[in-house]
Structure 1
Amino acid sequence: MKIYPEEVTVNFFYNLFGTIISLPICFLAEPNLSSWRLSSDLAAVAVLYSGLFGFSFLCIVHIWGIHLKGPVFVSSFKPTSIAIAVVMSAIFLGEAIFLGSVIGSLILCTGLYCVLWGKAKEEEEMREDDCGLSTTINGRVPLLQSQQS
């Protein structure tokens, strides 16, 4: 984002390539084209509503997150939507939670915590370097520091 700070364009390409990657997978998973037809007007309205309003809200939240914290945080929180969907479906729809969902959610949350911890450590080191307080990392001089002019 430092090189190309256009959040809207980055979000557009993120969604475009996600669509391009998932389109063939969807047709491989369900090759019967008749199952892709919407059977009722209510189904068409639901798809249009979620496509227009839900996706727009999602894009706005992603752009806002990229603007505030950068793309690492947005991409890190993306997998947690799966864990949130599992919890919400159990609460509101009464679906059963399986052991695989719990283990997967724990792995996702652990990975998210590790990324956030690493990002916080990186920002802390960058702040120290910007203030001129520290030119070493854990008492060691970074590689190629002497090569900088």
Structure 2
Amino acid sequence: MPRRRPGELRAGYPRQRRTQGAQPSIDGMSAHAVRDVVRLEDTRNYLEPGDVILALDRWQQFVRSSEGRQWDECEWDDVHWYCCGNPLEGRVLLDKVMHALPPRSARELRALVSRYDRLASAPALAAPTSLEVRSYRAGLFSGA
């Protein structure tokens, strides 16, 4: 009895999809924009994989929390920020990423972040102005 060729055997099996691993997703952004974010996280030394998604999630949770809680966290410093990350620093990171992304992807991320910025109830916690962001960065990187 002649032996069947491996290609003939494989042709009878159902096709399997091969994935390279879990693909990140950001609600409200296209797959093209998410690929640009992943590419940026891979090429920039100040970003690690998943940083943008975490910063966006922290900013969303902070903005959706009650106004009194926001005031307490900003005034008295929240102990969870030391382990889980500061949402205000996350917002600054999102600003950096929006400037580094290609125009189409930056526009999508900007629209998503501005939606969360509009949810901020206190005027001081709304989207930081470029002057506030620059002064925060200056204090952050000068070692102060």
Structures share fold, TM-score greater than 0.5: no
TM-score, with normalisation over the residues of structure 2? 0.27
- More relative contact order, 1 or 2 (CA 8 Å, 6+ apart): 2
TM-score of the superposition, structure 1-length normalised? 0.27
